[in-house]
Amino acid sequence: MSAERLEVHPTRLELLRLKRRKTLAEGIADILQKDLEVLIHSVVEYKKRASFLQNRLYEVLAASYHQFIEAEMMHGSLKVKELALTSNPIDFNIEKSITTGVLGIQFPFLKLSDKKKVKFQTRLSLYDTPLQLQEAASRIDSVMDAVVELASIIAAIRELLEAIKLKRRQINRIRFKIIPQLDATTGYIESILEEIEHQDSIRVRVLQRKRKERAEKIYEIESL
């Protein structure tokens, strides 16, 4: 499908202006392409970090789960349930801020407030709590830090993906709409100018032929 041309006057000045616009559009597309590559590289790096945190969380939670099962097997599920119902709840405070990342994009940044971190050892009684549950509960600090960091990374990835979508739309619009329109319009103007030059050259030849014929007639009359 051919691109629609712009409505312009077919003049040489307009032709030069369109060629300058195409050069500028190609330059902008190249810059946007470089930005796109930077964004994609950043997404890859963030995904690597997210994968590392997910694996770390899985290992810690799996170990805690096995200790929980071991405590139930050794002390009974009723005892574990009683401890769970009587333990002090944990109140986490998540601080949210904005940080500037790659290409000046602003990312939401989450952080577990140090002021609100709880002494997890005091949640359960040291006298009647199975050792397995105490060890599992002691891991909550590192788990929550990883969860909050993972949430920040996921939020950053979402912002990067939105920026990538925007860059791709901009690049596609330039390369598949604006530049083809400029090319179609440039070709149209060039064809018009070539036709005008062709007609002008015909007029010049006709005028030259008539002048020659007129000169020959004058010469014949003067020779009589």
d(C-alpha 123, C-alpha 65), whole Å: 18
**Nearest alpha-carbon partner for 135 in 156, 145, 120, 149:** 120
Distances (CA, A) of 13 to 27, 139, 150, 190: 21, 73, 57, 12
> Given a cut of 60, is residue 127 above it in pLDDT?
no
Residue 105, C-beta contacts closer than 8 angstroms, at least 6 positions apart: 159, 160, 163
120 pLDDT tier (thresholds 50, 70, 90): very low
d(C-alpha 55, C-alpha 70), whole Å: 22
84 pLDDT tier (thresholds 50, 70, 90): low
Residue 101, C-beta contacts closer than 8 angstroms, at least 6 positions apart: 42, 107, 156, 159
Distances (CA, A) of 123 to 87, 126, 142: 6, 9, 16
Distances (CA, A) of 73 to 92, 182, 205: 30, 76, 109
Query: Higher confidence at residue 220 or residue 201?
Result: 201
> Given a cut of 60, is residue 41 above it in pLDDT?
yes
> Given a cut of 90, is residue 145 above it in pLDDT?
no
Query: Higher confidence at residue 77 or residue 102?
Result: 102
157 pLDDT tier (thresholds 50, 70, 90): very high
* Residue 151 burial (CB count, 10 A): 16
SS3 4: coil
Classify the phi-psi angles of 76: left when phi > 0, otherwise alpha if psi is within -120 to 50, otherwise beta.
left
Can you tell me the mean pLDDT for 87-114? 82
Backbone angles phi, psi at 3, to 5 degrees: -80, 150
Please tell me the predicted confidence (pLDDT) of residue 2: 64
Query: Higher confidence at residue 124 or residue 90?
Result: 90
Query: Higher confidence at residue 195 or residue 127?
Result: 195
Please tell me the predicted confidence (pLDDT) of residue 77: 77
Query: Higher confidence at residue 217 or residue 19?
Result: 19
> Given a cut of 60, is residue 125 above it in pLDDT?
no
d(C-alpha 94, C-alpha 17), whole Å: 55
Indicate the domain borders of the chain. 12-172
Can you tell me the mean pLDDT for 111-132? 57
Please tell me the predicted confidence (pLDDT) of residue 118: 46
> Tokens at residue 220, please?
């014949």
Please tell me the predicted confidence (pLDDT) of residue 177: 94
d(C-alpha 113, C-alpha 105), whole Å: 24
Please tell me the predicted confidence (pLDDT) of residue 29: 97
Determine the distance from the C-alpha atom of residue 147 to the mean position of all C-alpha atoms in its chain, rounded to a whole number.
24
Q: Name the CATH code of domain 12-172 (choices 3.20.20.70, 3.40.50.300, 1.10.287.3240, 1.10.1740.10).
A: 1.10.287.3240
- The amino acid that residue 37 corresponds to is E
